Amino acid sequence: MNLPPLTQSFVLHFGEMGSRWGISRTVGQIYALLFLAEEPLNADDITEKLGFSRSNVSMGLKELTSWRLVKLQHKPGDRREYFSTPDDIWEIVRILAEERRKREIDPTLSMLRQALVETPATLGERHAQERMAEMHGLIELITRWSEDIQKLETETLIQLLEVGSKVQKVFEMKDRLKVVTGGKLRRRPRTEGQ
Amino acid sequence: MNLPPLTQSFVLHFGEMGSRWGISRTVGQIYALLFLAEEPLNADDITEKLGFSRSNVSMGLKELTSWRLVKLQHKPGDRREYFSTPDDIWEIVRILAEERRKREIDPTLSMLRQALVETPATLGERHAQERMAEMHGLIELITRWSEDIQKLETETLIQLLEVGSKVQKVFEMKDRLKVVTGGKLRRRPRTEGQ
DNA sequence: TCTAATTTTCAGGAATTCCTGAAAGTTCGA
DNA sequence: TCGAACTTTCAGGAATTCCTGAAAATTAGA
């Protein structure tokens, strides 16, 4: 490995983190390196800097491409492919969220929906089905919310995150003041939570 | 494996999902089984229903306990330990978020902070440091937001998620009406986003 | 303290995932 | 169409993770 110190500790860290997630250590390192790089890198650059085999780098880039986490571009007069990450780090978050939804959430939701339309044979299965319904509801709620806020401008999204739960205060105020908002914020009939 | 059909497909699914995350297939299955169970289960129940070794179940329960994802309890006149998951599924989300923060986010933040106080030796390192600063800011923002909203009552949290980005409308309204909120919602000086 | 019930530990085999080198494939200019 | 530059594929060895059975440890009642 042939990297300046700050870069190296970042790359090593994300290698380890990567292997706690689904991706392999080397894929994590490749992404970390690209994330920090000033300029797009080609596969040989990466091979040289990280010190593993050319074919491994090729596989890693293929995987990152399938996640849409790297962009491919060409330099004029150079046949090699250059890879980079989005400049806007929030774009990376968006893409990750979308891909994880596609790969993990959607299959889970469809498994749950399938289970929910079956007729439970026993009392235990009835209870299991209720638990699955709870989980289905939770996942749908979080997914919808996440899709919804991902459409916001980065600046707006940041604002929203910054106020966090204080936004709740605004709700209360709104209710108090009976401000009309075109029905979009209409309060649902209150159901007693568990 | 000795399970009714709905339960079985759920358990198998979460076994597979588990192995995409950091946890092993069997740990995923154990958790899925406990999540659906009507009553707390002991290690032998689990062994019998899932059909792998007693020692594997013991290791799995130990891991789940270290994640605080299962609760341990005793039945009067029975020496065995019974395991269950929280009844409130949102409680599971909260615990997961806390544990992941402790295990993954905090170490990452401290690596980033360490890198940010070093003096970059080269121009490339200078740029790398800037990227790390961006990432640090993003993680801090998301983490703070998440800690913040996790303190809300479940019912309030659900409301908040349900309105999603529409909450933004309320902000705009607030600005228009110049409603005083005790300074807590004071708008930051606008910086031009990228 | 002893014993039986129960849980935990852990060495090592099984299964899986990762990584490499060699070879095949692709692309583009001459 | 040829060949050099570059990329991808893939069989199989390396490394890692998973899982088991046997044995040790713990616990609570007698």
> First vs last Cα of chain A: how many Å apart?
54
Using an 8 Å Cβ cutoff, are B95 and B68 in contact?
yes
Taking the Cβ of residue B78 and every Cβ of chain A, the question of whether any pair is shorter than 8 Å is answered with no
Q: Please give the order of strands across the beta sheet that includes A41-42.
A: A41-42, A81-84, A71-74
- The DSSP H or E segment spanning B80 is none
Using an 8 Å Cβ cutoff, are B24 and B32 in contact?
no
Lowest mean pLDDT among A136-140, A157-161, B165-169: B165-169
Q: Which of A76, A81, A79, A98 is CA-nearest to residue A34? A: A81
Question: What pLDDT sits at residue B177?
Answer: 56
Higher-pLDDT residue of A66 and B186 is A66
- The pLDDT tens digits of the residues spanning A102-123 come to 999 999 999 999 999 999 999 9
Across the interface, do A138 and B93 touch by the CB < 8 Å criterion?
A: yes
pTM: 0.88
Nearest residue (Cα to C1') for D7?
Answer: A58
Mutation for A interface: B39, B113, B118, B170, most A CBs within 10 A: B170
Which DSSP string do the residues of B126-160 spell out, in sequence order?
HHHHHHHHHHHHHHHHHHHHHHHHHTS-HHHHHHH
Separation in Å, CA of A55 to nearest CA in chain B: 23
A56 three-class SS:
helix
Work out the pLDDT band at A19, boundaries 50, 70, 90: confident
Q: What is the mean pLDDT of chain A?
A: 89
Using an 8 Å Cβ cutoff, are A2 and A49 in contact?
yes
- Tell me the CA–C1' distance in angstroms for B79 and D4: 75
Cα B93 from chain centre: 5
Give the nucleotide nearest to A59 (CA→C1'). D8
Could you give the CA distance from residue B47 to residue A48 in angstroms, rounded to a whole number? 49
Overall average pLDDT of the B36-61 stretch: 96
Overall average pLDDT of the A11-31 stretch: 94
Question: What pLDDT sits at residue B176?
Answer: 58
Q: Which of B157, B32, B35, B44 is CA-nearest to residue B87? A: B35
* Protein-proximal positions, strand C, CB < 7 A: 5-10, 17-23, 28
Higher-pLDDT residue of A142 and B179 is A142
Which residues make beta-bridge pairs with B83? B41, B72
Assess whether pLDDT exceeds 90 at residue A90.
yes
Using an 8 Å Cβ cutoff, are B136 and B144 in contact?
no
Work out the pLDDT band at A172, boundaries 50, 70, 90: low
Lowest mean pLDDT among A110-124, B83-97, B107-121, B152-166: B152-166
Overall average pLDDT of the B87-92 stretch: 96
The first and second tokens of residue A188, run together, are 């649902």
Using an 8 Å Cβ cutoff, are A3 and A32 in contact?
no
Nearest residue (Cα to C1') for C22?
Answer: A55
Work out the pLDDT band at B167, boundaries 50, 70, 90: confident
One-letter amino acid for residue A149 of the chain: I
Higher-pLDDT residue of A136 and A159 is A136
Question: What pLDDT sits at residue B175?
Answer: 60
Overall average pLDDT of the A148-171 stretch: 85
The first and second tokens of residue A165, run together, are 């739960």
Overall average pLDDT of the B9-21 stretch: 94
Overall average pLDDT of the B17-30 stretch: 93
Nearest residue (Cα to C1') for C27?
Answer: A79
Using an 8 Å Cβ cutoff, are A73 and A61 in contact?
no
Task: Give the percent of chain B with pLDDT over 70.
Answer: 87
> First vs last Cα of chain B: how many Å apart?
54
Could you give the CA distance from residue A184 to residue B158 in angstroms, rounded to a whole number? 16
Work out the pLDDT band at A165, boundaries 50, 70, 90: confident
Lowest mean pLDDT among A175-189, B75-89, B118-132: A175-189
Give the nucleotide nearest to B24 (CA→C1'). D18
Could you give the CA distance from residue A99 to residue A92 in angstroms, rounded to a whole number? 11
